[in-house]
Homo-oligomer: A and B are copies of this chain.
Amino acid sequence: MSDIGGFIHDEIPSAEVDRIEAAYGPLTAAVRELIDATIRTTVSPEEAGLALAEVEAVVARLRKEQLPGPAGVRFNSEGRAWNWGNAAVGLRNAIAPPLDITHVRSGLAHATVDLGAAYEGPPGLVHGGVTAMLLDHLMGETAAASFTRITFTGTLTMVYRRGTPLGPLRLDARIDREEGRKVWVVASIGDAEGPTVEAEGVFIIPKWAVPE
């Protein structure tokens, strides 16, 4: 393994990456269910205590062998890349709703997401910070122009038009303009009745990532 700007060259064959994803996708989905159930259950504190012991046993099973730190972003020589730990889209991150992104073409993307009880802020509504997180992620991927370059968030401005209801949502993003290492992206998130939050962001291509 070698490390380029924090991106780790990890020579796992793509077939093995597929096999790991096939096992860990369902586990992550089950952990998402557990997060939701921990919020919504009305079983007794005694039952919660039994659940606690069971969860601790699963954690012990998984922690027998583990990475020393976060997952990072990895790639192999076959051109396969994976970022299982990503907070918005990571295949093995139960915090990620996940956001399901479609890149229509370079600089144009949309996404769908279905947000349940774990993403609540005001009663029945999505936490304003969660909409910011999802918009930031989709905008960053859009700025990266079909993954042909790396970008970091520079500035991000969000205008909240109305509350975003929990449930199915759609996001849209496109590159508005570019100048040197700066990329302007506009985006929105909303429900069937239209946008609830509109966003503009400036994304920066780091100097080290620009070919000389």
> Interface of A with B (CB < 8 Å)?
5-8, 19-20, 22-24, 26-28, 30-31, 33-35, 37-43, 45-52, 54-59, 61-67, 69-73, 84-88, 90, 92-95, 116-125, 127-130, 132-137, 140, 152-160, 163, 166
CA distance A58 to B155 in the complex (A): 42
CA distance A201 to B67 in the complex (A): 38
Are B122 and A128 within 8 A (Cβ)? no
Are A87 and B121 within 8 A (Cβ)? yes
Give the residues in chain B near A140, CB-CB below 8 Å: 121, 128
A8-B123 contact in complex given A58-B54, A62-B38, C-beta closer than 8 Å: yes
Residue from B33, B59, B129 in contact with A88 in the complex, judged by beta carbons closer than 8 Å: B129
CA distance A28 to B41 in the complex (A): 12
Are B59 and A42 within 8 A (Cβ)? no
